[in-house]
């Protein structure tokens, strides 16, 4: 038991230690959180990561805002209503989506967005690719949580003369709430660290860009990727610092989600 625990802990601590020791010092500098990399070359020190942090947050949240309703409603359909052929087909499609490699999702949206429609590569296209990756995670985790809600609770509500849809909204979803949030966060953490679709649809740029519909939007993963082959020390430091920032960001989101889940969870 303890052996397994240590075995799991070693790589985790190792990663954290490496990232903190190599990039931690940059995060202590306030310009990391306020400046972009505009006009800063690989051999120069300084600049910050705010452009990439903003990009990652904007894209992550947009993806979540699109994926959560789709995913949760699909899960509700599958668990509460789905019978017969259509439900089987939907479930099968979710299975397939789960298995789609992220680079394929990126290429698919590229083919659609750029090749077919002739649009420019923008942040929103990245979000669409990420939605493809996040929806199946949300569907599957929400499904599990809805299945955990005892049937007796549904029956108790029906027996009070409550219609089915209201039972789902007012009894089933609140009971499964904290579990659903956890699933959403897992999905979000996955897409925020995703890199392949970003390389195809949203190459790195050095300055702040907050418009999802015009221009390239820099993100932490693409920032990391950009300089990872550099040998100059300032750039290398920034790669580690960006990695640490990404880890912290996801950690923070998880904590926030936990608080939300705690507030709305089953009372004991």
Q: How far apart are CA 30 and CA 12, in angstroms?
A: 27
171 is an interface residue for another protein by CB under 8 A: yes
Binding positions for another protein, 144-163, rule CB under 8 A: 150, 152-163
268 is an interface residue for another protein by CB under 8 A: yes
Query: Considering beta carbons, is residue 76 or 134 the nearer one to another protein?
Result: 76
Q: How many residues bind another protein (CB under 8 A)?
A: 26
Binding positions for another protein, 95-134, rule CB under 8 A: none
Phi, psi of 265 (to 5 degrees): -90, 180
| C-beta of residue 178 within 8 angstroms of C-beta of residue 266 | yes
Task: Give me the residue label for tokens 């029956």.
Answer: 155
Q: How far apart are CA 152 and CA 264, in angstroms?
A: 21
263 is an interface residue for another protein by CB under 8 A: no
Query: Considering beta carbons, is residue 13 or 148 the nearer one to another protein?
Result: 148
What is the dihedral sign for C-alpha 11, 100, 68, 218?
positive
| C-beta of residue 42 within 8 angstroms of C-beta of residue 113 | no
Number of CB atoms found within 10 A of residue 74's CB: 22
Per CB under 8 A, the list member of 38, 44, 170, 228 interacting with another protein is: 170
Per CB under 8 A, the list member of 1, 2, 7, 83 interacting with another protein is: 83
Q: How far apart are CA 66 and CA 78, in angstroms?
A: 19
| C-beta of residue 128 within 8 angstroms of C-beta of residue 163 | no
Query: Considering beta carbons, is residue 215 or 264 the nearer one to another protein?
Result: 264
Query: Considering beta carbons, is residue 44 or 170 the nearer one to another protein?
Result: 170
Report in angstroms how near the CB of residue 147 gets to another protein at its nearest. 15
266 is an interface residue for another protein by CB under 8 A: yes
9 is an interface residue for another protein by CB under 8 A: no
90 is an interface residue for another protein by CB under 8 A: no
Report in angstroms how near the CB of residue 65 gets to another protein at its nearest. 25
* CA nearest neighbour of 217 among 150, 135, 124, 130: 124
77 is an interface residue for another protein by CB under 8 A: no
Report in angstroms how near the CB of residue 175 gets to another protein at its nearest. 6
Query: Considering beta carbons, is residue 16 or 148 the nearer one to another protein?
Result: 148
Residues 6+ apart with CB under 8 A from 53: 33, 220, 245, 249
* CA nearest neighbour of 56 among 262, 249, 240, 186: 249
> What does the binding site for another protein look like in residue numbers (CB under 8 A)?
83, 150, 152-163, 166-167, 170-171, 174-175, 177, 264-268
């Amino acid at each position: 038991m303890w052996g397994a625990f240590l075995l799991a802990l070693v790589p985790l601590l190792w990663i954290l230690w490496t990232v903190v020791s190599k990039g931690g010092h940059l995060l202590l500098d306030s310009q990391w959180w306020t400046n972009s990399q505009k006009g800063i070359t690989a051999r120069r020190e300084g600049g910050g990561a705010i452009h990439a942090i903003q990009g990652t947050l904007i894209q992550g949240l947009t993806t979540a805002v699109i994926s959560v309703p789709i995913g949760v409603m699909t899960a509700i359909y599958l668990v509460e209503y789905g019978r017969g052929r259509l439900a089987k087909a939907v479930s099968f499609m979710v299975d397939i989506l789960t298995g789609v490699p992220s680079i394929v999702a990126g290429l698919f949206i590229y083919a659609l967005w750029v090749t077919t429609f002739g649009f420019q590569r923008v942040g929103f296209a990245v979000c669409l690719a990420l939605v493809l990756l996040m929806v199946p995670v949300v569907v599957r985790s929400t499904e599990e949580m809805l299945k955990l809600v005892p049937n007796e609770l549904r029956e108790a509500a029906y027996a009070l003369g409550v219609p089915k849809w209201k039972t789902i909204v007012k009894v089933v979803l609140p009971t499964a709430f904290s579990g659903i949030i956890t699933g959403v966060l897992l999905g979000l953490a996955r897409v925020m660290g995703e890199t392949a679709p970003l390389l195809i649809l949203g190459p790195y740029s050095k300055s702040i860009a907050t418009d999802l519909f015009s221009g390239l939007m820099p993100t932490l993963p693409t920032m990391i990727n950009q300089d990872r082959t550099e040998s100059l020390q300032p750039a290398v430091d920034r790669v580690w610092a960006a990695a640490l920032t990404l880890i912290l960001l996801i950690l923070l989101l998880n904590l926030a989600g936990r608080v939300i889940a705690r507030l709305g969870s089953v009372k004991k």
